[in-house]
Each structure stands twice: as structure tokens, then as C-alpha cells.
Amino acid sequence: MDVVRKLQILADAAKYDASCASSGTTRRDSRSGGGLGSTTGNGICHSYTPDGRCISLLKILLTNHCSYDCLYCVNRVSSAVPRARFTVEEVVRLTLDFYRRNYIEGLFLSSGIISSPDYTMEQVVAVARTLRVDHGFKGYLHLKTIPEASQALIDEAGRWADRISINLELPTAADLQQLAPEKNGARIETAMDAIRLRIQESTVQRAKSPKAPVFAPAGQSTQMIVGATEATDATFLARASHLYTRRGLRRVYYSAFSPIPDASRKLPLVAPPLLREHRLYQADWLLRFYEFNVEELADARRPNLDLALDPKLSWALRHRDRFPVNVNRASRFELLRVPGFGVKTVDRLLQARRWHRIRLADLTRLKVSLQTVMPFIETVDHTPTGHGLDDDNLRARFAPPAEQLDLFAPAGASVSNPA
Amino acid sequence: MPAFSFDGTFADWKRAARRALAESCPPQAARWTNARAGQVELELAESPAPYGWESEPPARVRVPRAFLTLAQEAACHSDPTRWDLLYRMLWRLGHGEPHLLEVTVDADVTALRALAKAVHRDVHKMHAFVRFREIPTAAGSWFVSWFEPRHHIVEAAAPFFVKRFAAMRWSILTPERCAHWDGRTLTFAAGATRDAAPPEDAAEDLWRAYYASIFNPARLKVATMASQMPRHYWANLPEARLIPDLIASAQPRTETMVETSDRHRERDSDFGTASVPGSRDLSVLRSAAATCRSCPLWRNASCTVFGEGGPGARVVVVGEQPGDQEDRAGRPFVGPAGQLFDRALQAAGIDRAQLYVTNAVKHFKWEPRGKRRLHQKPNAREIAACRPWLAAELQAIQPDVIVCLGGTAARSVLQSSVRVLETRGRWHPTDFGAPALITVHPSSLLRLPPGEDPKAAFDQFVADLRRVSARMMGFAQGEGGALIRDDI
Ligand code: SF4
Ligand code: SF4
């Protein structure tokens, strides 16, 4: 099988992993000490595909042979897709060739599980080691690790990689039991915690001496599949919040399960709308940067996010007594809760109002949508009376008509995600 | 009206601006003329003789550092009125509004930020969208790119490529400026044309193959793509030409996937949970298994091939699945592989009568190949479906040791996937109160890859089996008769 065909099969098998970030690692470059490559703080997206996702890293599987049978996954042993396997050398060469032409920031490598977790992990680590040691590669490396692999191998992975991830895939033990019987939620969390400790250790050591070895400086991330089981948004968000606060994860990705070739049983017939995934990302954002907690967004009484409205607007409409907020006096915390105000806008307003009193025209210059914010704020020249907060139609004004929602819904069923 | 001439760079504009300030020239009166190569940035310059900047400009003008940073970026913008904006802000900073930048909602401040942001974005996109092509030269490869930025950013964007590709030799050609790096110094030269850059090459096919494969047709979000990768840049991206086709074929591809999934879904109903009786009497189990329908394999096979051997056996040998002859005979290990196994047992000094032999999967899985029925490996679901039978057999016999012949057997007994070649000849713990020895399946000796010595392979198989007899005797092979240590 030639390399083009292998690349087609093994990229196709990798595409259900949403993560493609190349950000948040240490800065390094190839000016001193030779080698190839550099990293920037924010990462670079080198291209975009028509699914709206960016191409930052060469995202491939080492092999899509897998002895596991995770039902949501296109690579599971019982799936009838064509199989291929790269050699370590082939992956190294592809990465370097693409990198030199400025197609990519680096490599995101994962693999189906062949022979044994350790055997597989050893191959993945060998690619990283060859790139770093033999070729002086300084670009970005993201390695998917296998929770069952030995600690020594995970440690070596962390030494070469910028980011390490283990996909949780499903938010509860029961869901995992149902769709990925060979995976073990407790085991995954133990592995995540071991990685967290290593990262912490390395940060502490490096604060003392910059020569101390790095360990996955861009942290660890994970992914959960949305809509393959009955799990609610409240469950997903609670899980994510737990992972951020207790396991120190840098990023949680949500992936609406989407049709895969040769999909399996037990998956719902209809794919969830991409909109649900989008709402989860918005809510995740509110957790991380807007000081919201999970219960404010979704709880047992309202277990799912409102598909029609973004979660902040939806929260505001449920807490009308907190509004209107006076833009010239309110605290940062209060301003952050105004639908239509982002972090940057809020910080600019706080700075500007030390010099003069804010009017609507000022908001326009900051590119704020007046239509969204006006019911919720007071400025020198505006008090919301016309569009009163008590107005029952307020929600209707924001919610798009029902058909429009369908535009976000892809046809079809099923899901997948490698390793 | 005074006009201030400068060479079009930010550094030189600063010098001209300092002079304008020294002259107390108010912003509405100042005109900025870019004197470089006859490019007139602003035609409003009325003074025929521009103010000279031959003599040294006046003393330093103090401005916030943040302003300089933003201004330097904004100066790269292609908007011809940017110099007016910059001077107006400079003027205001020096005339009673030193805090101007903090008034983040001021019209000039927002305009400046907007210019700087557009430039910043263009630089970022240049870092992202430059595509090198490789030219072989006597001195090694030379990487050349043709790129069309929106603003005057080549100087600002080039250092990034130096850091990243320090050990390479490269050139980035653009209509306005070219950047060259020879491995040691960065130089800039006048603009070039597209035909100065090398044509397409084969490596781009590989890149396009990747682009097409990483795209997920089930989630089309064309607008998101176009906002992040504006059409302006598409002409120089080798992958962009695939976009129309990928979009057009997305819907049909998705529909096919859904249809195939539905077909698969029907097959899923073939799987069930084996209803194994509670009894651990082998004959009860055997007759129950005869009618098992827990996976699709029963359909194409002639009968269930259950295990064979006495309830008092101390060793249980597990194979993969019955083959063609076993399927006809209804008995395990009677075909060619079974005969080879018998010879190996003999060589290892094991009496087959002491054994219970069975398979991980009890029905023959095959594929028609002409008139023959070609053996097919059972998949994980089939192995899992059939495991309750094997588990019942092991519980009924309660052997002292288990022998797994090949990966399928090992997978079923150990409930994890193992690499036979790496783990063979060793003991592994199981859930059945007895250790399992892993070795190859005898059928693998019948299909040795060319170049492998059949005699050596057979001997190694026998050596593995000797560990069983050794353990049964309570002594480890080749360890001087010492009592076997638990090497599990
Ligand atoms: S999710 Fe990973 S382990 Fe499970 S089947 Fe897919 S590739 Fe294999
Ligand atoms: S192979 Fe096993 S599970 Fe499948 S039908 Fe036969 S006995 Fe039942």
C-alpha cells in the first residue's frame, strides 16, 4: 500500500477527534541549536476544511487496526473499514515534509490498540522520540495516550509531547459500560491524575531551574462524545467542571457524534444537532472565563441547555431581577453577566469609564450589538423601558424561529472517535 | 497647507511627525506624502516643495509605549488615511490627552485598534498560509513561496519564518516586497511576480489527499471556514481547489454512510446473550450449546462444535474455532491442525487423553472461495458472544492449567488482547483459578511465512507445551529440578 492510500485511511480514521489546538506550550525556535521548527503562544491554524474545523496539526492514526470494540468508533474491531498501518519512519517523514512546506504546526498522533496497550504506546512514543532526538524537531506534538499503558511509557510520552490527551469519550461509567466495554472510567481518571501530578511536578521543578525537564507543557485535554447516549448537558458540564478543577485539564472537547462508515448498534438513529455541541462549548466557556458554575447553567430541573438561546442569554432571561445593570457603576462580575458583553468589552468599558460616562454610541464603537444588550443595561442616555424586562415577549425576540434551528442539524447517525 | 514627506516606513514617518509637531502643525492641516518610488499615499499634499527632513528632527516626543506598538502595526495597513489618524492621535496625546488610549471607546482609539487588528490578522494569516515549494539546488533544497498579503506586512511577518525555518534556505515572494533567508541573514528586496515562483509539485498531491480525508462531510460549516480562511487567500493555497467538490459531495456521502449504518443496525439484532444453563454438568452444557443463536455464526455452520474430554481433565486446551473438518465431524481438533497438535503433544510427552480440548468460538466462521470454505477469523463481538460457553466449560472442569493456542483463545481467556509472539511460553493469571500458558495456534505452523524453518517452529511449539507437562509434574523445565516458582 502506498503512502497516499495509507494517509487517506489513517487521516479519515483520525478526523472524529475534535482537538487540533497547537497553543499553550513553551516558546521555542530553531535559531540556536539547529533542528527544525518553532512554537508560538497561540498556535496557528494552517488551513480550514469545509466542516469549519481548522487544520493545525497533521492528525493521523499510527494504525486503525484495533482490538477493542468501542461501539461509537469507526476503528473498532467489528467495523468493516479498510485498515492500514504506518511505520514509525513514514510518520516521521510525512511530518517533516509537511512541516517544511509550512502546512502544519506539528503532529497529533494516536492509534488503535494493537497487540497490547504497551506495544501500541511504545510505537507512538517512538515516533515522538525520533522526531525530537534524531531530527531536532521543535514543532508541536500532541500524543494520545492509552490509559492502560505503563507509567514509564506515559512518562516518556510527556517528555517529548507538548500535549497529552486521554479521551474520556463518555461522561458516565454506565455509558462507558454500554458502549465501550473494554474501557474503564476509573482507570482513565487514574491515568489523568498521574499525568496531572507529573505536569505539576515539572512546573515546580522548572520554576526552580529552567533546565529541569518539561512534561507536556501544553497540559492535557480530553474529549467527550455528545448525543451517543442519554447523558444530559448537566452531566457533561459537571464532568467537565470536575476535570478542569480536580484533574487540571487544560481543555475539554465536545464532539457531536456524526455518521461514520459502518456504524454500529445501540447508537441513536439521529445525530444530535451540531447546535448542541456549540451550546456546550459556549457553556464551557462561561465556566472557564465568566465565573459561572454548572448549576447556574444546567441542573436536575433543567438538565439540558436551551438550544434556541445561548446559555448566557438564557440565564439572563431566567434572572431578570438582576437587570438592568448600570454600565457606569456595575462591578466586573455583574458586567460579565450581561448578554452581549464579552471579557474584552467589559475590560475596555471598565477602563473607559474612569475617564467619561458611557453612552450607547460608545458601545457601538466597541462593536457591541445594541439590540442584544439594551434590555439588560442602563447608560447615561438609556434606561430599558420600551423593551421592558418584564415583557413576556422578550424571549421570543431573541429566540430564532424553529425552522432556522434545523439548519444546524446534520442528517444521519452514529459516531466515532479513535483511542 | 504643509506637507510632510517621508519614505513610507513607520520609522521615517515618526521623524516627519516629530517635525510636524515641532512646527505646531495641527492635524487637520498636515499632509503626509510617501516619497518612496513615486508612490503617493495621499494626493491632498498641496505644497509643491515638501518639508525637508534632511536636517535632524526636533527633540523627542514622549508617547505611551502602547501607542507606539499599536501605531507601528496600524502603519502597515493599506488604508491611505492611516497617517492622518496616527498624527491626529499623536497630537491629541501631546495636547492635554496623555491618557487617550485609556478612553477605549474614543472614535480614534477604536479606529486605531481596528487598523492594528486587521494588520495583526494579516500577519497571522501570512504565517499560516504561506506554502513553500521545494527547489533542488547544488547547495541543497531551497524553499520558495508566492504569497499575496493584504497589507504592507512582509517585514513584520518575516522574523517568524526565520525562527521556524532557521536551518532552511527560503524566499517568500510577494507583489510588493520579497524576503530572503540564506540560513544566516534576512534580506528584503523589491516585489516579484507570480511566475518567479516555482510551479506546483507532487508533494502537494499528498497534502491535498490529507485535506480531503480529514474533512468530515457529515458536518458542513462553509461559512465558518470562509470567515477563518477568507477567499482572498485561496488562490495560493494548493488545497483550496478541492473545496467546491468537497462541499458538493458532502450530502451524498453522508447519506451513504447513514444507509450503511442502517444495514449494520439490522445485523446487530443477530447478537444476543448466550443462555447458558446454570448447571455445570458438561453434557447439559453441550446439548444447550447445540442450539445457541447468540451470534450470527451459527447460520453458515453445520453444527456447534463443543469441547471434548473427561470432566476430570487437569488441563484445558483452548483453540480458536472449529475448521472445515471439525465442522463436518462435530468434534474439535480433528483436522490438519489437530493432527499436528497431536504430534506436538506426543513430542512434549503429554497424553491427549488427559486433556479437555475446546475452542473460544464454537461455530465455524468461513467465507466461500470457489468451492472451498475459507477460514475467517472471528471478531471481537463473536468472541465475546461465545465466551459464556467457554467460561462454563472451565468452571465445570476446574483445571489446574489452561493452554491458549493463539490470540483468539488468549483474548477470550484473559479478556484482553495480547501479542502471542511476545507473551508465548509464559504463564498468565486468569479468572478461572488456574494460570494460562499462551502459545501459537498449531495452524500457524501449517502456514509459516516463507523463509521460516518449520522444524524450528515446531520445536519451539513443543518447548512451550513442555512447560505444561513440567508444571503438571511440579517441576520447571530446565531449572535443575527446582520446584516451580510462581512465575505468573
Ligand atoms: S476508541 Fe480507540 S480503543 Fe476504542 S475502538 Fe476506537 S481506536 Fe480502538
Ligand atoms: S459461535 Fe458461539 S455464540 Fe455464536 S452461535 Fe455459535 S455457539 Fe453461539
Give mean pLDDT, residues B311-327: 93
Q: How far is CA B176 from CA A290, B6, B78, B188, in A?
A: 44, 18, 12, 10
| Closest Cα to atom 4 of ligand 1 | A70
Closest C-alpha among B330, B324, B481, B322 to residue B409: B322
For A263-306, what is each residue's pLDDT tens digit? 555 555 555 567 888 899 999 999 999 989 899 999 888 899 98
Predicted confidence (pLDDT) at residue B357 exceeds the cutoff of 60: yes
State residue B306's pLDDT score: 96
CA of B441 to the centre of ligand 2 (A): 20
For B187-224, what is each residue's pLDDT tens digit? 999 999 999 989 888 889 999 999 999 998 887 888 88
With cell 500524543, the residue in question is A143
State residue A387's pLDDT score: 52
- Winning range, highest mean pLDDT, from A304-308, B338-342, B377-381: B338-342
Question: In terms of C-beta density within 10 A (0-12 exposed, 13-18 middle, 19 or more buried), how is residue A240 classed?
Answer: buried
Tell me if A218 CB under 6 Å of ligand 1: no
State residue B258's pLDDT score: 67
Among A1, A47, A362, which would you mutate to test the B interface (most chain B Cβ atoms within 10 Å of its Cβ)? Answer: A47
Contacts of A358 in chain B (CB under 8 A): 105
Closest C-alpha among B104, B110, B96, B92 to residue A358: B104
Give mean pLDDT, residues B294-320: 91
Task: Give domain status of residue A153, yes or no.
Answer: yes
**Per mean pLDDT, which range of A80-89, B147-156, B265-274, B477-486 is the poorest?**
B477-486
- Residue A119 · residue A146 · CB < 8 Å: no
**Rounded distance between C-alpha atoms, residue B424 and residue B414, angstroms:** 13
> Which strands make up the sheet holding A57-61, listed edge to edge?
A57-61, A106-110, A140-144, A163-165, A220-226, A251-256
Contacts of B206 (CB under 8 A, 6+ apart): A3, A4, A7, A94, A97
Q: Closest approach of chain B CAs to the CA of A417, in angstroms? A: 12
Task: Give domain status of residue A293, yes or no.
Answer: no
Q: Give B282-485's CATH code, choosing from 2.40.30.10, 3.40.470.10, 1.10.645.10, 3.30.2130.10.
A: 3.40.470.10
Predicted confidence (pLDDT) at residue B364 exceeds the cutoff of 90: yes
Give mean pLDDT, residues A225-254: 89
In chain B, where the domains are located:
3-125, 130-196, 203-268, 282-485
Domain CATH number, residue A329: 1.10.150
Pairing of strands B186-190, B177-181: antiparallel
For A34-54, what is each residue's pLDDT tens digit? 789 888 878 899 999 998 889
**A-B Cβ pairs (cutoff 8 Å, strict):** 241
The residue that leads in pLDDT, A3 or A407, is A3
State residue B44's pLDDT score: 32
The residue that leads in pLDDT, A243 or B38, is A243
B376: contact with A, CB 8 A cutoff:
no
Ligand nearest to the CA of B417: 1
Contacts of B211 in chain A (CB under 8 A): 47, 49, 55
Q: Closest approach of chain A CAs to the CA of B50, in angstroms? A: 36
Task: Give domain status of residue A230, yes or no.
Answer: no
pTM of the model: 0.73
Q: Which residue range is the domain that position A388 belongs to?
A: 319-398
Residue count of chain A, please give it: 419
Dihedral, CA atoms, A29, A32, A35, A40, nearest 10 degrees? 0
Contacts of A317 (CB under 8 A, 6+ apart): A309, A394, A395, A398
Closest C-alpha among B400, B406, B390 to residue B315: B400
Q: In the structure, which protein residues have their CB atom closer than 6 angstroms to any atom of ligand 2? A: B 274, 289, 292-295, 297-298, 304, 361-363, 385-386, 389
Give helix A233-246 / helix A274-289 axis angle, nearest 10°: 40
Q: How many domains does chain A have?
A: 2
A273 by DSSP, 3-state: which?
Answer: coil
Q: Do B164 and A351 touch (CB under 8 A)?
A: no
Closest C-alpha among B103, B123, B124 to residue B113: B103
Sign of CA dihedral A305, A307, A310, A313: negative
Q: Closest approach of chain A CAs to the CA of B123, in angstroms? A: 11
Contacts of A274 (CB under 8 A, 6+ apart): A256, A408, A409, A410, B219, B221
State residue A137's pLDDT score: 94
Work out the end-to-end distance of chain A between its first and last CA atoms, rounded to an integer number of angstroms.
23
- Residue A245 · residue A392 · CB < 8 Å: no
B413 by DSSP, 3-state: which?
Answer: helix
State residue B487's pLDDT score: 39
**Rounded distance between C-alpha atoms, residue B18 and residue B25, angstroms:** 10
Tell me if A66 CB under 6 Å of ligand 1: yes
CA-based nearest residue in chain B for residue A350: B104
Task: Give domain status of residue A133, yes or no.
Answer: yes
Vertex B487: Cα angle to B486 and B488 (nearest 5): 95
Q: Do B261 and A260 touch (CB under 8 A)?
A: yes
Instruction: Tell which of A108, A142, A165 closes a domain.
Output: A165
* Cα Dmax for chain B: 115
**Rounded distance between C-alpha atoms, residue A221 and residue A187, angstroms:** 16
Tell me if A68 CB under 6 Å of ligand 1: yes
CA of A265 to the centre of ligand 2 (A): 19
With cell 502456514, the residue in question is B447
DSSP B8: S
DSSP A158: H
Residue type, B453: D
Query: Which of the four pLDDT bands, split at 50, 70 and 90, describes residue A138?
Result: very high
With cell 439588560, the residue in question is A376
Sign of CA dihedral B463, B465, B469, B475: positive
